[in-house]
Amino acid sequence: QVQLVESGGGAVQPGRSLRLSCAASGFTFSTYGMHWVRQAPGKGLEWVAGIWYDGRNTHYADSVRGRFTISRDNSKNTLYLEMNTLRAEDTAVYYCSREDDVWVTAGNLGVWGQGTTVTVSS
């Protein structure tokens, strides 16, 4: 079945780095755009970053541009989010999500992982 499994979350001090991974299975990963979406404790959803199916184009929210990098390895069916210079306000559950249709990057997030928690605190 179609599945996304995030990993790499944890507790980290402000200013440090963390890399999240999202392992995809049950579909042809290389044909779908992918996104990261986060949710701070008790708050709403916030789109973080998106990447085209072939990795040639990436997009970032203003709040993370220059600090976070989204990437993918289609040979490993894995999506990544490299997070540098972490701040307390980056504390959230980070979800990996997949576009609902092949080839497009439209923000129709039809498949979601269970999320991984990142806590930034001294």
Q: In terms of CB distance, is 63 or 74 closer to another protein?
A: 63
Q: Pick from 10, 15, 26, 110: which binds another protein (CB under 8 A)?
A: 110
Residue with tokens 């042809």: 28
Segment 65-104, which members bind another protein (CB under 8 A)? Answer: 95, 100
The half-sphere exposure of 5 on its side-chain side, counting CA atoms within 13 A, is 7
Q: Give least dist CB 79 to another protein, A.
A: 15
Q: Are 73 and 55 in contact (CB under 8 A)?
A: no
Query: How many whole angstroms separate alpha carbon 67 and alpha carbon 103?
Result: 27
Q: Which is nearer to another protein, 43 or 75 (CB)?
A: 43
Question: Length of the chain, please?
Answer: 122
Residue 23 lies near another protein (rule: CB under 8 A): no
User: If binding is defined by CB under 8 A, does position 107 make contact with another protein?
Assistant: yes
Q: What is the rounded CA–CA span in Å between residue 36 and residue 81?
A: 8
Interface with another protein (CB under 8 A): 35, 37, 44-47, 50, 59-63, 95, 100, 106-110, 112-115
